[in-house]
């Protein structure tokens, strides 16, 4: 049985993970780590920081907190040889560099989204990308999400751009020449792929990839209506990871 510590254990995602991962026969949530005391402990211990834990009792740290916290978790895991699964997005270049450095000493899996449906959406988008003239992405999230665009939309845009490049397709060029309001066309995520971010109460995590070509369009939409949609993917990562140093980006390879 693997023993887990969840960083960000008082947050909505942390609470959902604690409830559902702790119910698995082969997993045990040992500690919830957060500066705020969690509403529910689900049989786990509450600590304010990873440094309050005995590393010998933890197999995997799951990080769903802040970008700054990711670096702290990565350094602690590297120091103690504990595996790390990261679901936090919005890391800057320096923070990503520190995660990469930590992966030289311990195993790390980092994904912008752990939903199985999102992984499949990205696969489908890569298949469609070479066959359409234009594509745009609309990502919609709850109004407490700190970063925009979402890590998922950036990952999807990068996958589409790579698929188009592999097929010999040129970068997209925005046909709009007159902007009545600055930013109305969204943000260029690379190769002319525009991303539009929506933040509203009541939403969880949603994404549309919209392709257009002569006389037709294709929309690939994914909706996470509840945070339990991410639990399966996190569980796959936790079960797959060991202490062999290295960095895995995304969980696509874990899904047949």
CATH architecture of 2-110+227-254: 3-Layer(aba) Sandwich (3.40)
Return the active site residues.
141, 145
- The pLDDT value recorded for residue 223 is 97
Summarize pLDDT for 119-175 with one digit per residue, the tens: 999 999 999 999 999 999 999 999 999 889 999 999 999 999 999 999 999 999 888
First vs last C-alpha separation in the chain: 24
Q: What is the CATH number of domain 116-224?
A: 3.30.360.10
**Rounded mean pLDDT, 180-209:** 96
- Rounded Cα distance between 150 and 198, Å, is 10
Whole-number average pLDDT of the chain: 95
Pair 134, 251: CB distance under 8 Å: no
Summarize pLDDT for 26-51 with one digit per residue, the tens: 999 999 999 999 999 999 999 999 99
Other residues' Cβ atoms within 10 Å of the Cβ of residue 239: 14
Q: Which two tokens stand for residue 13?
A: 């995602």
Partner residues linked to 32 by β-bridges: 6, 46
Summarize pLDDT for 207-247 with one digit per residue, the tens: 999 999 999 999 999 999 998 899 999 999 999 999 899 99
- What global pTM score does this model have? 0.84
Pairing of strands 107-110, 45-47: unpaired
Please say whether the dihedral angle defined by the alpha carbons of residues 130, 116, 36 and 140, taken in this order, is positive or negative. positive
In percent, the amount of the chain with pLDDT more than 90 equals 94
Give domain limits for the chain. Answer: 2-110+227-254, 116-224
């Amino acid at each position: 049985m693997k023993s887990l510590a969840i960083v960000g254990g008082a947050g909505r995602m942390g609470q959902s993970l604690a409830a559902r991962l702790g119910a698995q026969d082969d997993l045990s949530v040992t500690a919830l780590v957060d500066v705020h005391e969690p509403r529910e402990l689900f049989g786990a211990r509450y600590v304010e920081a990873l440094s309050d834990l005995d590393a010998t009792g933890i197999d995997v740290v799951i990080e769903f907190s802040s970008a700054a916290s990711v670096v702290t978790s990565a350094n602690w895991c590297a120091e103690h040889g504990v595996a790390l699964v990261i679901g936090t997005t919005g890391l800057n270049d320096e923070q990503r560099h520190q995660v990469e450095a930590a992966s030289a000493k311990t195993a790390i899996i980092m994904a912008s989204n752990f939903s199985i449906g999102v992984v499949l959406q990205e696969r489908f988008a890569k298949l469609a990308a070479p066959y359409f003239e234009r594509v745009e992405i609309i990502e919609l999230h709850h109004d407490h999400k700190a970063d925009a665009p979402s890590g998922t939309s950036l990952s999807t845009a990068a996958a589409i751009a790579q698929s188009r490049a592999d097929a010999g397709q040129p970068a997209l060029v925005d046909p709009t020449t007159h902007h009545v309001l600055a930013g109305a066309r969204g943000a260029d995520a690379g190769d002319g792929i525009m991303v539009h971010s929506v933040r509203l109460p009541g939403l969880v995590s949603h994404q549309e990839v919209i392709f257009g070509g002569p006389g037709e369009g294709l929309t690939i939409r994914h909706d996470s209506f509840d945070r339990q949609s991410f639990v399966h993917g996190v569980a796959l990562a936790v079960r797959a990871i060991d202490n062999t140093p290295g960095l895995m980006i995304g969980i696509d390879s874990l899904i047949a």
